[in-house]
Structure formats: C-alpha cells, structure tokens
Structure 1
C-alpha cells in the first residue's frame, strides 16, 4: 500500500488547488480528500513493492522448475519409445 507520506502529499496537492478563501473548510476538505484517497486505493487491492518482488521471484523459480520438468519428461518419453527399424 502507499505509505502515509505519499498519501499526505497527494492530498496536499489536491487541496493546493482549492482557493485560499475557503477558510477552515480547507482543512476539512483536505481530510476528506485524504480519506477518499485511502478508500479508493484500498479498493484497488494493491500490494507493496516488496510483496510484488517476492512473488515475482517465486514465479521465476517456478518457471525454471517447470522448464526443467518439461525437459525431463521429454527425455523420459524418448527413452520409452520403441526403437525404430
């Protein structure tokens, strides 16, 4: 998930677009923007970069194992074929 600093920065950028004449409502708007961003990002079911990298490594290792097993099966199939005359 996106860390709190990044979320605060996004909320700040959005609230910077609000005219300065709104007074105390600006803080409420900033809080609402931050909450809306959190809710929206939570719905996206995001993972952290670390989680992504771990899963990527697992996938690469699995792919290597599958390729090795495919090669082994091909060798065994060749050994099981009767000799041609």
Structure 2
C-alpha cells in the first residue's frame, strides 16, 4: 500500500537522523502518529484512482453513445408519426413543446 511505503520512507529517514540519539521511542511514536494521520486523511492509492478514472471515462463514453442513440430513436419515431398522421414534423415539434 502506498501509505505504508511513505510511512516507511519517513521512518527510515528519521532513523538515519536519530541513529546516534538515545531516544529509540521516537520511531515508534512517529510511526503511530503518522499512521493515524494517514488513516484520517482517507487517502486512496494511485492505482485505485486510475482504475476509477478509467471507469468514469468508460461511463462517459457509454452515456454519450446512449444520448446519441436516444436522439436518433426520437427523430425516427417523430418521422414515423409524421408519416402516419401526414403532418409536417414542425407541427409535432410544436405539440411536444406544449407538454
């Protein structure tokens, strides 16, 4: 997990700085503190973000395709109704606007 990697890197750097220090509890306390901070931030990994981004892109593409299809079906239905009633399509547009 990315959070664990970042936490480990920070702890490693702090360990390097405090290698000569008699304070060994600093690592433990820092790990607990940073772990709590990352948990509260409710972060997602880059991988999870990219997966959701791809899902959103596919959803947008499907929505666009469906909107195009619905528009074509509405136009075809309007043309069929116009031919059946022998009414100009503009008249049907006027009727749909009053609804």
Structure 1 residue 55, shift from structure 2 partner = 1.2
RMSD of Structure 2 on Structure 1 (CA): 2.3
- State the partner residue of 1:8: 8
TM-score w.r.t. the length of structure 1 is 0.72
Cα deviation code 1:36-58 (max 9, x no counterpart): 11111011111222211111111
Relative to its length, the structure with more helix (as a share) is 2
- Which of residues 61, 72, 77 in structure 2 aligns to 1:80? 77
Cα deviation code 1:15-60 (max 9, x no counterpart): 63x7x6xx432x2112211111111101111122221111111111
Matched, 1:46 2:59: no
Structure 1 gap segments, 5+ residues each? none
- Which of residues 21, 24, 33 in structure 1 aligns to 2:22? 24
Of the two structures, which has the highest relative contact order with CA contacts closer than 8 Å and spacing of 6 or more?
Answer: 1
- Work out the number of aligned pairs and report it: 80
- State the partner residue of 2:96: none
Structure 2 gap segments, 5+ residues each? 83-88, 92-99
Structure 1 residues 49, 5: closer, same or farther in 2, change over 3 A? closer
Give the greater-gyration-radius structure (CA). Answer: 2
